[in-house]
Amino acid sequence: MKYFLIILLLFLPLSLFPKVFYLNNGDSVPSGTVSAVETRVKLSTARRGKLAHWVLNWGDDSLMVRFNSRNVVDGIDEPDLTISCCGQTASAPGLNSNGGWNSVAVEWTSDSTARVMAGAERLGHVMNLSSLNRPNGTTLCVSAPSGKLTVADLIVETDDNDLSRLMVNCVPESFEVWKYLDSTDAASARLGGAYRLGLMPTADGYDLIYLGGARVNSSSWRQGMRKASLTSTAYQGHYLLQWIDATGRTLPGEHYATLNTREKTLTLDFPAFPLTLRFVRE
């Protein structure tokens, strides 16, 4: 179990383990690239003989779920159930039109196409949109102009495979270069690569800048991205460590680094696992 946690938290690609967050209505979306949103809602005015709607919105974008059964004759007509977004409207016949629970979800594909799905019991495809923005860095809110609105779930899934946010303004050729030497249990840890890192001074310590060597999620890493931050402590050569794993996540917990300039070694300690990585200066 211990080694499974090391592999999971330090080295596996994020595409296998997306982050899922359960939000309260009106909450801010956690950091990361949003890959999907979903909500489950009940509206008291969405009943036979009524015209009602509710809206899921973020930033300048919104998705409206509309129920129109004002002129429906039982046994003859079906309610008009639609979803509107980005100037498009499509039928959503799987919705409950009598005050029951309904779920709506949006998933973004790798080419940023948004797939809208909806249904009372199971999600069915409604439409595809090419111009719907992801709710990155915004808030999610469900609202209705009338009736009692109950929001059971408001879920966000993020995918941090886009690591461009880690790029820093630097000149890699000017760094001290450190290369991976060994670890306390490299065979079990399945390291993300034999990393080469540049040591860049900062106001309160150093940044470790990725220069090469990634094997896990290697297509996402570019020279000049931050791989770790070292913050000075009261003890010379000892630092608090923030490590960014192969997926771009900051590893939670307390971790430490020791820089021995005389022996030209850099030691990274992850005591909760436990795991130690060593680098040597080239």
Report pLDDT digits (tens) over 148-172: 999 999 999 887 566 788 899 888 7
User: Cα separation of 183 and 262, whole Å?
Assistant: 20
Are both 154 and 19 inside the same structural domain?
yes
pTM: 0.56
Model confidence pLDDT, tens digit, residues 30-86: 877 888 999 999 999 988 778 999 999 999 999 999 999 887 656 555 788 999 999
Q: What pLDDT was estimated at residue 251?
A: 80
Decide if 1 contacts 234 (C-beta within 8 A). Answer: no
23 contact partners, CB below 8 Å, separation of at least 6: 29, 140, 154, 155, 156
Evaluate whether residue 207 is within a structural domain. yes
Q: What pLDDT was estimated at residue 8?
A: 36
Q: What pLDDT was estimated at residue 275?
A: 84
Q: Using pLDDT thresholds of 50, 70 and 90, give the confidence band for residue 4.
A: very low
175 contact partners, CB below 8 Å, separation of at least 6: 198, 199, 200, 209, 211
Q: What pLDDT was estimated at residue 57?
A: 96
User: Cα separation of 146 and 44, whole Å?
Assistant: 9
Evaluate whether residue 8 is within a structural domain. no
- With left for phi above 0 and alpha for psi between -120 and 50, is residue 3 left, alpha or beta? alpha
Are both 179 and 135 inside the same structural domain?
no
Are both 187 and 62 inside the same structural domain?
no
Neighbours of 253 (CB within 10 A): 12
Task: Look at residues 159, 184, 203 and tell me which one is the last residue of a structural domain.
Answer: 159
Q: What pLDDT was estimated at residue 73?
A: 59
Q: Write down the mean pLDDT value for the chain.
A: 85
Are both 20 and 153 inside the same structural domain?
yes
Are both 85 and 189 inside the same structural domain?
no
Decide if 116 contacts 129 (C-beta within 8 A). Answer: yes
User: Cα separation of 13 and 247, whole Å?
Assistant: 5
Q: What pLDDT was estimated at residue 72?
A: 64
Number of domains into which the chain is organized: 2
Are both 123 and 48 inside the same structural domain?
yes
Q: Give me the CATH number covering residue 118.
A: 2.60.120
Evaluate whether residue 103 is within a structural domain. yes
List the structure tokens of 244.
């960014």
Are both 22 and 139 inside the same structural domain?
yes
List the structure tokens of 163.
């690591």
Decide if 237 contacts 259 (C-beta within 8 A). Answer: yes
Averaged over 98-122, what is the pLDDT?
A: 91
Bond prior to 93 in cis (omega within 30° of 0):
no
Are both 70 and 187 inside the same structural domain?
no
Task: Look at residues 159, 180, 201 and tell me which one is the last residue of a structural domain.
Answer: 159
Task: Look at residues 159, 189, 213 and tell me which one is the last residue of a structural domain.
Answer: 159
Helix (H, G, I), strand (E, B) or coil at 63: strand
Residue 53 buriedness (CB in 10 A; 0-12 / 13-18 / 19+) = buried
User: Cα separation of 206 and 49, whole Å?
Assistant: 66
Evaluate whether residue 186 is within a structural domain. yes
Q: What pLDDT was estimated at residue 193?
A: 78
Are both 133 and 190 inside the same structural domain?
no
- List C-alpha distances in Å: 269 to 60, 197, 277: 44, 16, 7
Quote the domain boundaries for residue 88.
14-159
Are both 227 and 263 inside the same structural domain?
yes
Evaluate whether residue 1 is within a structural domain. no
Are both 46 and 74 inside the same structural domain?
yes
Are both 152 and 235 inside the same structural domain?
no
The answer on pLDDT for 247 being more than 80 is: no
